[in-house]
Structure 1
Amino acid sequence: MRPVTGFHHETAFYGSDDDFLSLTVPFVEEGLRAGHPTFVACAEQNTALLRGALGRDDAVTYLPGADQYARPSDAIASYRELCGKLVAAGATRIHVVGDVPHPGTGAPWDWWARYEAAVNQAYAEFPLWGLCPYDTRTTPDYVLADVARTHPHVAGSANLDYGGVLSAPRPDVLEQSRPLLELVDPTPAAVRCAVNAAIANVDLDEESAHDVVYAASEIITNGLTHGAGPVRFRLWADRSRVVIACTDRGPGPRDPLVGLVPTEVTQTAGLGLWILHRTCGYVSMGRSEDGFTVRVSVGS
């Protein structure tokens, strides 16, 4: 029998704890019966439900969901490393059930929507079967629509909605106010100088302040290099958090992995965008009526 290869990306929707268990317990048990490495990377409540339903089974590996899904780029790097080691050790199928964050769990969605789209390519070389359950009691409708567009399979069946355009990124709440800084077609050096002055009274530690300046320089460089003018840079801030955005009139990158994996994997992504995804609190990239925007949040 030939080894099973390729990423099987599946979602399922549930509206109660019993529904969650009816979807996930058979998935986990199937992996265990076949002797496949089987992982659970869920939020605390769902992990407790599965532990209670499965009983003591040392064959299941529980990964803390909050750590595994701290940020999309970290999740991709972690899963790629894990799958690579398991395949090298002889695994022909790997089962993972995981709770991907979204606004219903307190997380911004845009970069997780990009994650759900990007992993179809990022994990394609591995014999991974990933089940991403979503709770309809807490998940917003626009998130559920994006979930349907990014998963080739829904509850064991082919998904006819797969491949649609993701919803437009949503502005940060700070963007409801007037920007503290707005520049058009500035040089990266001018942006760094202006941002340093603009965040002088924001309560950021030295590392976070450095992240803001670095991010500002990177997103304006990206817009000037790859976008279409005019390129507009804006900055908002409250007492302890800064949001910056760079908008150009270009279409944005075609590669869904841009920023989510290092350049040696994508061969097209800028290293700077990948570093932003690994260091900043939140990075959003996508098109809206204004154009293509890269948005970064730093602080809390």
Structure 2
Amino acid sequence: MAMEHKAFLYRDIDDFLSVTVPYLKDGLANDQSVIAVVPEPRLTALRDVFAGPGQPIAFVDSAEFYRHPVRTLRDYQHVVKQSAPRRVCALAEPVWQGWDERQTLEWIRYESLINVVFASSGARALCPYDTGTLPPRVVAEAKRTHPLLLSSEHEGLNHEYVDPVTVGTACDRGPRTGRPRDAEYLPVAGADLHVLRAFVGERAARHGLPKRPAQNLVTAANEVAANALQHGTPPAGLWIWRDGDDVVCEIGDNGFWRPPPNPLTGFIPPETALQRGFGLWTVRLLVDLVEIQAGWDGTFVRLSVSRSASEPAGA
């Protein structure tokens, strides 16, 4: 059964409730597995409407659920699998505040990937967007990433929808920012990456990463370096530096990596570890942000981990 993925553009709390309350009631009436992932204060407003004993709706604060695009995809997959054979009815309002440009691009990619990851799940997803507070760019991207649209001007098929491959390619097309002059460098060569792991671990600790995120950065850097040695073109190298609150580690080689045509590669777990993309999926779970860019000067994978992340990164 095909998925229904609809963007809902609303103006205020009354407009929000006028659509979301009937939507959730319809899910309950059809014996669907109903989940509402919404930020405050709208979460409390919905709870008040559906207050009562034995309420079957799962209410979740978006601020807790929408922290990391790949982990959020994984968590929604878990919801769908746990609910089977019942159909999932999700009210899913992403968090768009507090992200920089790079993170915003990853959440745009996430909304687009939903259409592929859950294409045959039969799930229903209504994604509210507050047109009164969100930047116009975010609202415009909502129209590009949802096949269906509900607004004061339109209801039904969304003619501005763009396929996930095109969206993902655009997310990776931006110019690569340079490294600072004080970035520390380590050449990457040989099958034994013990020196690399020690190098990254020591610098991560020096830059103030807590133990768990530092260990995850070491594991992610090791995976990317091993892939560069196996599939890239020498010479390969690693750079590490601090960028504000982030510790950044970049691994590069002289090869020109071409992204696979499947937009899911590296964003969901392959069925087996032998399939392409398993390592990249693990890397994306381990760190806060992965940026991959290739050009005439080689292929570079940049890993960023925040020193103040409240949730330890991990698979």
Fold in common (TM above 0.5) = yes
Match of 1:244 among 221, 240, 249: 249
Aligned counterparts of 1:72 and 1:202: Cα–Cα separation in 2: 25
Q: Shift of residue 185 of structure 1?
A: 7.0
Matched, 1:122 2:127: no
Aligned twin of 1:168: 171
Aligned twin of 1:15: 11
Aligned twin of 2:312: none
Q: Shift of residue 63 of structure 1?
A: 2.6
Aligned twin of 2:217: 212
Aligned counterparts of 1:231 and 1:152: Cα–Cα separation in 2: 42
Q: For 1:86-137, what per-residue CA distance to the aligned partner results, in whole angstroms no more than 9, with x for missing partners? A: 223xx2x3210012233x2557323322322222222123220011112234
Aligned twin of 1:63: 60
Aligned counterparts of 1:267 and 1:144: Cα–Cα separation in 2: 39
Match of 2:138 among 143, 168, 181: 143
Aligned counterparts of 2:290 and 2:26: Cα–Cα separation in 1: 37
Which runs of 5 or more residues in structure 1 are unaligned?
Answer: none
TM-score (norm 2): 0.75
Aligned twin of 2:38: 42
Distance 1:140 1:191, change over 3 A: farther
When the two chains are superposed, the root-mean-square deviation of aligned CA atoms in Å is 3.5
Matched, 1:256 2:263: yes
Q: Shift of residue 261 of structure 1?
A: 1.7
Amino acid at match of 1:117: S
Q: Is the 8 A contact 2:5 2:115 kept in 1?
A: yes
Q: Shift of residue 183 of structure 1?
A: 6.2
Q: Shift of residue 79 of structure 1?
A: 2.3
Larger deviation, residues 260-269 vs 108-117: 260-269
Q: Is the 8 A contact 1:234 1:244 kept in 2?
A: yes
Secondary structure in structure 1 of the residue aligned to 2:90: strand
Matched, 1:27 2:16: no
Aligned twin of 2:69: 72
Distance 1:128 1:266, change over 3 A: farther
Secondary structure in structure 1 of the residue aligned to 2:125: strand
Q: Is the 8 A contact 2:240 2:250 kept in 1?
A: yes
Aligned twin of 1:279: 286
Distance 1:15 1:74, change over 3 A: same
Larger deviation, residues 24-33 vs 225-234: 225-234
TM-score (norm 1): 0.78
Which runs of 5 or more residues in structure 2 are unaligned?
Answer: 309-315
Amino acid at match of 2:216: D
Aligned counterparts of 1:151 and 1:6: Cα–Cα separation in 2: 14
Aligned counterparts of 1:293 and 1:278: Cα–Cα separation in 2: 18
Aligned twin of 2:92: 98
Aligned counterparts of 2:131 and 2:298: Cα–Cα separation in 1: 31
Q: Is the 8 A contact 1:276 1:283 kept in 2?
A: no
Number of corresponding residues: 290
Larger deviation, residues 36-45 vs 19-28: 19-28
